[in-house]
A and B are shown apart, each in its own frame.
Chain A
């Protein structure tokens, strides 16, 4: 065992045997701080990254700025991404120590890591998120948690079994406007909330089916597809995978981990789900993009609350989450917090009122929790609840049926055909 693993074990054991005592200041003793003011190498959180495209690289850069983190390895099926990422790490540390892997299995087996950051097309989440958890690593994983609800259940199972720290990349929770909106709504400033609207972007194009194209040099296309159905390469992979249902549910699932997540947080429904879901979706018809470009979904929760999810343009207050209470409304979107009456926004919160989890930086919240062994602001279970709402909406739209859902068992009630869509069969030989 390496020092790093020992340190992790130390962190866990220390906290487990001294419940309630805050040991944080002793974890990185002053003596371990280097003379330059940086955390000494042996005490840094050793981190690797799987998936270093645009989002993965963005996350990696965030963690590189944290002196408590040491990035040692990257993994990607595309050589271009690997080369770019190792170059960024090398420039940050002024060395060439960052290793690279094409296959996540080799990466997880060979690298001695504390934590891993993962940012992949959604169809890979089930397998790789579970594998990282089962390797005992703490995980910072991009939203949405999963492509299917079955995948999500497996991920949560692996997280719980291994007792790891998990942060879902729903970083709006660490934004002050969202914190404030939730603080106001949860403390009854707009009265009882019985209706919420969630406005998401359109997506929206229909590229005609491109002819099959040569696979770019350095890309392992079969590995990129992984568990998804084998198809010829038609030029769609980085970024634009999100418009193809084999890999993503489009804007609806892409944004579920943001605005739906905030809507659930603000209504105290983040540990449950709707009981009834209806929706209408419109899809591109001609080309290979096939995720909905117009959607309108109505969720009913057991407490009677209704949550509508639709394109921005269809809603009065546009994007973000709008909470409608008996005494006013509040809309929150990125960089925007508005209300039926501006005075509501400066309302005093009672001393003994509800205090939402406060995180000021999503990446730092993760590393803080890696050290403290406390729960992050968006653990896997919460990530699953947010994406489940979108995935159930997707099923309601694809079947044009009213879906009845048991949020405790996480099962569709009385509809065999809709229930099939809770999973996407994996291509052989992949399995979780």
Chain B
């Protein structure tokens, strides 16, 4: 039985159309979500005043559907204070349930269904503020592992954080849940072999977000995949706080991300962060199936640079090329870096390299800036072939690019 409310559906459709049309230069993949292999349900409908699930849930839906692997539905509760008795999503119809909800208690039957669903092997994803919900629901707290606010304290379980290479459980008396000012966060991998983390850099900067700290909970069967440093200079806890972690509950799997603050007017950089998007997609897949098949994108952030994806996905090659053409000396080099990474991380088959080489030739033959052409010459010095020689020979007569054209030619021609 579909719980998706028609109005909600229309709202999402409209939102999606707005998103799709607001970036008409980006070629959107046509995704047939009906045939996607993983069925996901986002639960929303009530939220505390610091967050906005009406914005975040459709973003999460889009982030998942862009992979082509997820068919996402949204189950929305009635508003706060109204009759909840008809809120009965059939959790067992889905491979994974994504929690984007903080609010009134669900009906007992729904709570029992949820716990049974997890016990029987269902996947759960806890998104950011959802770990504030239900402080007194024992099983919920076991399923999410750690939570904060709403009166949580030592009765809910220890503080859990990372120190000197290991997990610390600290029973000190005190309230659970704290965050500093929003700031970029250094995320460090603590379990590089977990399927969600495999192939990611071991440290990367997450774009400006509200990093939770001092979370408390039973934390049974917890596996901390990555921590974020809660910087005391921005009023954080000074600790390496769990940022991405998993919980085993019964046969079920929980992936908990404390990242992803969404509220107010955009841009919502916390969820535009390529690192958030990628770990969320991989985490949802893992919670649903126990495996991760989604690839790590070439443009994943690292310990030096955070990377934003304005439409929740990397630029199309066509848009990337247009962005590169406008490059000036004091602009960010992220677009040319992205092209370089895509080439390097491609399958490097002859036809792939030739496609990229043609793209680069097009740039040096276009009306791109000389600064852009000079950077492309450096790439061609590595990846170029005889195919590039005529364009580079021609570029030699450009007084601002001649030296770099010659540089590329010297390497190509040996």
A and B are partners in one complex rather than unrelated chains: yes
Interface residues of A (CB under 8 A from B): 202, 204-206, 208-212, 229-230, 232, 234, 282-290, 293-294, 311, 313-314, 398-401, 417, 420-421, 423, 425, 427-428
Interface residues of B (CB under 8 A from A): 188, 201-203, 299, 302-305, 307, 329-334, 337-338, 344-345, 348, 374, 381-383, 403-404, 406-407, 410-412, 414
A207 to B329, CA, bound (A): 13
Please, which residues of chain B bring their CB within 8 A of the CB of A204? Answer: 303-304
Please, which residues of chain B bring their CB within 8 A of the CB of A212? Answer: 329-330
Given contacts A211-B329, A286-B332, A420-B414, 8 further A-B contacts (CB under 8 A): A206-B305, A212-B330, A229-B403, A282-B304, A285-B338, A293-B303, A400-B345, A425-B406
Closest 10 CB pairs of A and B: A284-B304, A425-B410, A285-B337, A282-B302, A206-B304, A286-B332, A285-B305, A211-B330, A420-B411, A206-B305
Closest to B332 in A: A286
Closest to A245 in B: B378
**Quick one: given A202-B303, A206-B304, A420-B382, are A287 and B332 in contact (CB under 8 Å)?**
yes
**Quick one: given A208-B332, A293-B302, are A420 and B381 in contact (CB under 8 Å)?**
yes
Please, which residues of chain A bring their CB within 8 A of the CB of B302? Answer: 282-285, 293-294
Q: Which residue from B332, B344, B381, B411 sits with its C-beta under 8 Å from A209?
A: B332
Which of the listed residues A234, A314, A400 has the most CB atoms from chain B within 10 Å of its own CB?
Answer: A400
**Quick one: given A204-B303, A294-B303, are A285 and B382 in contact (CB under 8 Å)?**
no
Please, which residues of chain A bring their CB within 8 A of the CB of B333? Answer: 209, 285-288, 290
A427 to B201, CA, bound (A): 35
**Quick one: given A229-B403, A229-B404, A283-B304, are A314 and B202 in contact (CB under 8 Å)?**
yes
Measured between C-beta atoms, what is the minimum distance from A342 to chain B in Å? 21
Please, which residues of chain B bring their CB within 8 A of the CB of A400? Answer: 344-345, 348
A400 to B329, CA, bound (A): 27
Please, which residues of chain A bring their CB within 8 A of the CB of B337? Answer: 283, 285-286, 290
Please report the number of residue pairs spanning A and B whose Cβ atoms sit closer than 8 angstroms. Answer: 95
Measured between C-beta atoms, what is the minimum distance from A87 to chain B in Å? 36
Closest to B346 in A: A400
A287 to B330, CA, bound (A): 8
Measured between C-beta atoms, what is the minimum distance from A67 to chain B in Å? 47
Closest to B353 in A: A417
A234 to B331, CA, bound (A): 12
Measured between C-beta atoms, what is the minimum distance from B374 to chain A in Å? 8
A400 to B340, CA, bound (A): 11
Measured between C-beta atoms, what is the minimum distance from A262 to chain B in Å? 24
| Contact B334–A285 (Cβ < 8 Å) | yes
A427 to B377, CA, bound (A): 14
Please, which residues of chain B bring their CB within 8 A of the CB of A313? Answer: 188, 202-203
Please, which residues of chain A bring their CB within 8 A of the CB of B382? Answer: 398-399, 417, 420-421
Measured between C-beta atoms, what is the minimum distance from A400 to chain B in Å? 5
Closest to B378 in A: A229
A396 to B334, CA, bound (A): 22
Q: Which residue from A209, A399, A425 sits with its C-beta under 8 Å from B329?
A: A209
Closest to A246 in B: B378
Please, which residues of chain B bring their CB within 8 A of the CB of A425? Answer: 381, 406-407, 410-411
A212 to B329, CA, bound (A): 8
Which of the listed residues A289, A400, A420, A423 has the most CB atoms from chain B within 10 Å of its own CB?
Answer: A420
| Contact A399–B330 (Cβ < 8 Å) | no
| Contact A284–B348 (Cβ < 8 Å) | no
Please, which residues of chain B bring their CB within 8 A of the CB of A206? Answer: 304-305
Closest to B337 in A: A285
Please, which residues of chain B bring their CB within 8 A of the CB of A287? Answer: 332-333
Q: Can you list 16 residue pairs at the A/B interface with Cβ under 8 Å? A: A211-B330, A212-B330, A230-B403, A282-B303, A284-B302, A284-B304, A285-B302, A285-B334, A311-B202, A314-B202, A399-B344, A400-B345, A420-B381, A420-B382, A425-B406, A425-B407
Closest to A293 in B: B304
Measured between C-beta atoms, what is the minimum distance from A392 to chain B in Å? 15
| Contact B303–A286 (Cβ < 8 Å) | no
A284 to B336, CA, bound (A): 12
**Quick one: given A400-B344, A420-B411, are A205 and B304 in contact (CB under 8 Å)?**
yes
Measured between C-beta atoms, what is the minimum distance from B320 to chain A in Å? 13
